[in-house]
Structure 1
């Protein structure tokens, strides 16, 4: 909501940059910026100063009328005219009604060559040759509203034979003709991965490999932007390497590199960065940097991949990546992993053959091998990009968005990214982002324990690293008091366990930080404890509701089981001997099983009822969610599960006792069917019980039990 018509939204810790951009323009327009910034020399000259103020007013008007995302997108632009034009490009006006009759043909001769167009679309090769025999110049005419030539149309229609015939009739310059998008027919063929068409045109005119469209993109870049992976491999080897140099104004090299990263073609990306290391820190045509894109590819790393236990064992113990090589532009052969050392003797060749055979016969092993190969290549690519980081100035690091890339990598839990950047650039542990937070502070905010654990490897530097504050005067305990991002809570079942996890983070940070941190106030005059209560107010309410609903549901089931088991104890199967008053089948082993199972079920269900009653009547203070409430729920669920199992055992025993004389065979399928409720309960509730057990009693986040990590 706009704040008094001055800014788009009220200042918070998360919107400072947008707020600053909007308020700065307002202050300039009101003549107050010099007071705030200390700059007492606005543009000289009456006219120039007037334009400066008017520009700021216009910028401010645009910004407060746009959403936060738009301000963030155009942040740093100081021209109202440029921002207006960029908004107009993003939101083009629709054509007025009836404007189809006023479409202007440009250079196209649409109606004159309609016959040629139809023959190409229909794949009529002889008809096309006959038409061009009568009109030889038509081969170089633009025959559609999009300024496509006959060759463009044939490529788009996928008519390979017609393309070959047209290429044979055309001059070298004819092949270079572009449509209104600046695309040659060759470029369109690369997008559609029409290899035969590309080969024919490339053989006749190699210059096509370097022609740019109206956006300055050469064919290999265009193909990469359209994710034509195999075509990219084909074109990469044939494209002159000098056109991909980082110094070129069209930024083809950086754009290609970033497209390769986005599509996961890491072997070519490694080859390109090794030839031109600066491409890793060069802006592409979309104003992106390679390091930013890598930070948004968690699936390319082991930390972003989830394997079942046996696949993980194969991944770690059985898969060994050996030589995977690519042919580069200069004909050099490059290795893509540290372990790439191909076998050079007969035994090694035999091993390679066996590996290939196993991968072919066992699809899962091939999948695991390919995943590990991708992960190794991604790490190698990251290492190549990060090698340039120590050589950059502070301003250059801000320009490439290093802080944002590190933040994104931490957010996605990319341990490999943090490992590599600390190894290649150790001083990064002291670097602060715009909020004054180091990577360890962000690891706490984003709840990434494996990344925060790096702090314990710092030795004597650990104390300094932990005693930092951000620009809002938050210490590390304040940051632990903040609510976790939704992505970190969503995988935890139930609001109560989510609340428990938040408390575990807060408590474990409290144990390793100095006691004085618990009393420190941030700029909002909140201690860590009060901030925790404020941030988790809603989650605590949801946790209480979840816990009570779960307890009430389970309590109903436990009560029904207790009632049935109590009644069954006095109506034993087979009845009671009227003379002695003892059960008729008292000496039967099956009867003893029945009595024992019935008693255990009654005791367990009664215990479950009492435990869940305790959950319903609990105080529900914050600390209760740490162990007290989860502990009660665990006991209640366990006794409920035990009562169900013993109840079904009692039922099966009763059926066996009743039918064993005449229909003994019937008791077997009935007893088997009695396991169905147990199976259903196991599938529906047992995973929750296991999760609660692990979270409550095995839920240490990053501390060892000996307390060595505590700061004195």
Structure 2
């Protein structure tokens, strides 16, 4: 095949290199480009059909690195550069995004194109990491031990952080940044980052433009109103770094004259509510949010009423709004807590039923003349008796704790401290009782069979003090079982 034939395009305006870019086999692209080095820029007028663009869409880092090396992207238009940049951000190829930014040359009127990649970065909270990169020794260690996965993630997070800095430097134009359109875009970046909890992105913006922390949007309110509405505690914690001036922010209103307390009284979206498992614990988290906002807002806002236009109901205070919006969640929390307590109490009862008679049914039996247990002097007997007593004591305590949960009043205050604390204590005592029961079973097993040799031909005539000494083949079996449990 002659080089000119490789430049042929199909009905979709794509060359053979375009389809090679979709695969993971870099050598195919190398062979094609070796025959015709003009292919990486064909078609030059259609960025969607460019091989490099398609490779970036697939996210194959090796293919992208090679095609970027052989593609002269400086010959592309500014809009095509931005399209490539947006695609690299969407596929988390931040190292390639850096290279594209290095070749990007925008005219003063084209700097508005940078808003789109900034917005995309604002919506990526997990990709903006610390600015400093890992050291060379750490890179080698991580790459050798974990095939580079953790190191690559750290490098990408650092690259994303630097990318935000570079974009801000490119965007930093005094004449442009003073326009109303720029202020609107900056507020949009602030809102998008606050919604998803992109703390690093917000810190970069606020350091560059400190006045943003005081900027108020007509629809969303301030940065902290957005954080409360979407339950982003890491973003909201920035308000404590302002000092005494935080009282001024706490008195601001969002759309519909909603204060911070009104927003805290509303239910968040389902994805933010479900970051805590269990309706009762979700209710506790909502109460903690409301109490935390009460500490910073002026007391004069506690009784300020807000008219709920959507439901058509009359004016309500923030506390009344909270009670109304969380009524269903409170009922679900009560049901979830009772079901959990019932299930755990059933397990605790079964454990108590098993370990109570075991204390009087001694392994090995008692001496017929004296009534003293036969294995009284054995260490395993002591382990058995103590662990059985521990299992009995803690299972009984667990039953009582879960019983108090079932008889609770399930008020708002109960969900805040009492019920979660009882649940945690009940689960802890139940876990200890299960561990005690397992230890008692193991001790009883060794107590009965410790003197019976499983391999009498290789030991001491049929009796030995340790099962694993006379039967060493048990060690691999026990090791295999433990490894299976750990790495299941």
Instruction: Tell me the TM-score normalized by structure 1.
Output: 0.55
State the shift of 1:654 in Å: 3.8
State the shift of 1:259 in Å: 2.1
* 1: CA distance, partners of 2:395 / 2:141: 53
Query: Does residue 312 of structure 2 align to residue 530 of structure 1?
Result: no
* 2: CA distance, partners of 1:184 / 1:656: 73
Structure 1: 5+ residue stretches without partners: 1-161, 168-174, 246-250, 304-314, 321-351, 684-712
State the shift of 1:424 in Å: 1.0
More deviation in 584-593 or 370-379? 584-593
Provide the residue aligned with 2:247 in structure 1: 463
Provide the residue aligned with 1:76 in structure 2: none
Provide the residue aligned with 1:412 in structure 2: 196
Contact (CA 8 Å) 2:265, 2:321: kept in 1 or not?
Answer: yes
Provide the residue aligned with 1:50 in structure 2: none
Within a 5 Å distance, the mapping from 1:82-231 to structure 2 comes to 162-164=1-3, 166=5, 180-182=11-13, 194-198=29-33, 200-202=35-37, 211-213=44-46, 224=56, 229-230=64-65
Contact (CA 8 Å) 1:217, 1:252: kept in 2 or not?
Answer: no
* 1: CA distance, partners of 2:18 / 2:445: 78
State the shift of 1:422 in Å: 0.3
* 2: CA distance, partners of 1:625 / 1:370: 42
In terms of fraction of residues, the more helix-rich structure is: 2
Instruction: Tell me the TM-score normalized by structure 2.
Output: 0.77
Within a 5 Å distance, the mapping from 1:211-610 to structure 2 comes to 211-213=44-46, 224=56, 229-230=64-65, 232-234=67-69, 236=71, 238-241=72-75, 243-245=76-78, 251-273=79-101, 275-276=104-105, 281-283=111-113, 289-302=116-129, 319-320=134-135, 362-364=144-146, 366-387=148-169, 388=171, 391-393=176-178, 395-397=180-182, 401-524=185-308, 525-576=315-366, 583=373, 586=376, 589-610=379-400
State the shift of 1:272 in Å: 4.1
Contact (CA 8 Å) 2:225, 2:263: kept in 1 or not?
Answer: yes
> Residues 165 and 651 from structure 1, CA distance in 2 versus in 1: closer, same or farther, beyond 3 angstroms?
closer
Contact (CA 8 Å) 2:13, 2:49: kept in 1 or not?
Answer: no
State the shift of 1:232 in Å: 4.7
Contact (CA 8 Å) 1:660, 1:667: kept in 2 or not?
Answer: yes
* 1: CA distance, partners of 2:167 / 2:334: 48
Contact (CA 8 Å) 1:254, 1:282: kept in 2 or not?
Answer: no
Contact (CA 8 Å) 2:247, 2:298: kept in 1 or not?
Answer: no
* 2: CA distance, partners of 1:258 / 1:395: 24
Contact (CA 8 Å) 1:291, 1:402: kept in 2 or not?
Answer: no
* 2: CA distance, partners of 1:375 / 1:235: 26
* 1: CA distance, partners of 2:428 / 2:288: 23
> Residues 565 and 254 from structure 1, CA distance in 2 versus in 1: closer, same or farther, beyond 3 angstroms?
closer
State the shift of 1:254 in Å: 2.3
Provide the residue aligned with 1:14 in structure 2: none
Contact (CA 8 Å) 1:262, 1:293: kept in 2 or not?
Answer: yes
Contact (CA 8 Å) 1:469, 1:475: kept in 2 or not?
Answer: yes
State the shift of 1:450 in Å: 1.7
> Residues 446 and 235 from structure 1, CA distance in 2 versus in 1: closer, same or farther, beyond 3 angstroms?
farther
State the shift of 1:420 in Å: 0.5
> Residues 645 and 200 from structure 1, CA distance in 2 versus in 1: closer, same or farther, beyond 3 angstroms?
closer
* 2: CA distance, partners of 1:644 / 1:224: 53
* 2: CA distance, partners of 1:370 / 1:653: 48
* 2: CA distance, partners of 1:430 / 1:622: 34
1:627 alignment partner, SS class: helix
State the shift of 1:212 in Å: 1.3
**What's the CA shift string for 1:228-260, capped at 9, x where partnerless?**
623651355x2445x434xxxxx3232232223
Contact (CA 8 Å) 1:280, 1:290: kept in 2 or not?
Answer: no
Contact (CA 8 Å) 1:489, 1:498: kept in 2 or not?
Answer: yes
Tell me the C-alpha RMSD between the 2 structures. Answer: 4.1
> Residues 653 and 219 from structure 1, CA distance in 2 versus in 1: closer, same or farther, beyond 3 angstroms?
closer
2:316 alignment partner, SS class: coil
Within a 5 Å distance, the mapping from 1:639-658 to structure 2 comes to 639-658=429-448
**What's the CA shift string for 1:580-624, capped at 9, x where partnerless?**
555555565544444433333222211111111111111111221
State the shift of 1:186 in Å: 7.5
Contact (CA 8 Å) 2:451, 2:466: kept in 1 or not?
Answer: no
2:190 alignment partner, SS class: helix
**What's the CA shift string for 1:153-205, capped at 9, x where partnerless?**
xxxxxxxxx242637xxxxxxx6x866545577777777773444454455x9
Provide the residue aligned with 2:426 in structure 1: 636
Contact (CA 8 Å) 2:85, 2:117: kept in 1 or not?
Answer: yes
State the shift of 1:453 in Å: 1.6
Contact (CA 8 Å) 1:281, 1:291: kept in 2 or not?
Answer: no
* 1: CA distance, partners of 2:16 / 2:422: 71
* 2: CA distance, partners of 1:448 / 1:266: 25
Contact (CA 8 Å) 2:15, 2:42: kept in 1 or not?
Answer: no
Contact (CA 8 Å) 1:480, 1:505: kept in 2 or not?
Answer: yes
State the shift of 1:421 in Å: 0.5
Q: Which has the larger Rg?
A: 1
More deviation in 544-553 or 517-526? 517-526
* 1: CA distance, partners of 2:349 / 2:221: 53
* 2: CA distance, partners of 1:598 / 1:658: 16
1:648 alignment partner, SS class: helix
Contact (CA 8 Å) 1:189, 1:198: kept in 2 or not?
Answer: no
Provide the residue aligned with 1:329 in structure 2: none
* 2: CA distance, partners of 1:427 / 1:609: 57
2:307 alignment partner, SS class: coil
Contact (CA 8 Å) 2:125, 2:199: kept in 1 or not?
Answer: no
User: What is the number of equivalent residue pairs in this alignment?
Assistant: 450
Which structure has more relative contact order (CA 8 Å, sep 6+)? It is 2
